[in-house]
Amino acid sequence: MSAILFMVGYGLVTIPSVLYSGSIAVLQLFDVPALFDIPYSQALVLTIFCIGCVGAVYAVFGGLRAVAISDTLNGAGLLIVGIAVPLLGLSALGSGSIGEGLHIITSTETQKLNAIGSSTDPTPFGTLFTGMLFANLFYWCTNQYVIQRTLGAKNLAEGQKGVLFSGFFKVLVPFMMMIPGVIAFHMYGEGLASIDLAYPQLIRDVLPVYATGFFLAVLLGAVFSSFNSLLNSAATLFCLDVYAPMKKGTVSDAHLLRVAKIASIAIALFSFIVAPLLQYAPEGLWQVMRIFTGFYNIPVIAIVMVGLFTRKVPALGPKIVIVFHIIAYGLFQFVFNDLLGIHFLHLYAILFFVEVGIMLMIGHFYPLQHAWTYAAHNKVDMNPWRFAIPCAATLMSCVIALYLLFSPIGLVDGLSAAFWPLIFLLIAVNVVVWWWIARHDTPSLMLLGAGTGATTDAIEKDT
What would the pLDDT profile of 290-340 be if each residue is shown by its tens digit? 788 888 889 999 999 999 999 999 999 999 999 999 999 999 988 888 888
Look up the pTM and report it.
0.80
Percent of the chain, pLDDT > 70? 90
Backbone angles phi, psi at 364, to 5 degrees: -75, -45
Please say if the pLDDT value at position 159 is more than 80. yes
Spacing of C-alpha 124 from chain mean position = 19
pLDDT at 242: 83
| CB neighbours of residue 65 within 10 Å | 10
Partner residues linked to 103 by β-bridges? none
Closest-CA residue to 164 (of 378, 383, 398): 398
Please say if the pLDDT value at position 67 is more than 70. no
Q: Cα–Cα distances in Å, from 120 out to 114, 116, 123, 366?
A: 13, 11, 8, 44
- What single string gives the DSSP state of each residue in 353-389? HHHHHHHHHHHHHS--SS--------SSB-PPPTTHH
Please say if the pLDDT value at position 458 is more than 70. no
What's the half-sphere exposure (Cβ side, CA atoms, 13 Å) at 249?
Answer: 3
The DSSP element (H or E) to which 300 belongs, if any, is: helix 297-309
pLDDT at 355: 96
Lowest mean pLDDT among 11-15, 60-64, 177-181: 60-64
pLDDT at 374: 78
The single-letter DSSP state of residue 315 is: T
What is the assigned CATH class of domain 2-116+172-283?
mainly alpha
The CA distance from 32 to 14, in Å, is 24
Closest-CA residue to 126 (of 349, 442, 337): 349
Burial classification of residue 111, based on how many CB atoms lie within 10 Å of its CB (0-12 exposed, 13-18 middle, 19 or more buried): exposed
Q: Cα–Cα distances in Å, from 407 out to 109, 127, 132, 404?
A: 13, 16, 19, 5
* Residue 31 CB partners (closer than 8 Å, separation 6+): 204
pLDDT at 6: 74
Residues of the chain with CATH 1.20.1730.10: 2-116+172-283
pLDDT at 215: 84
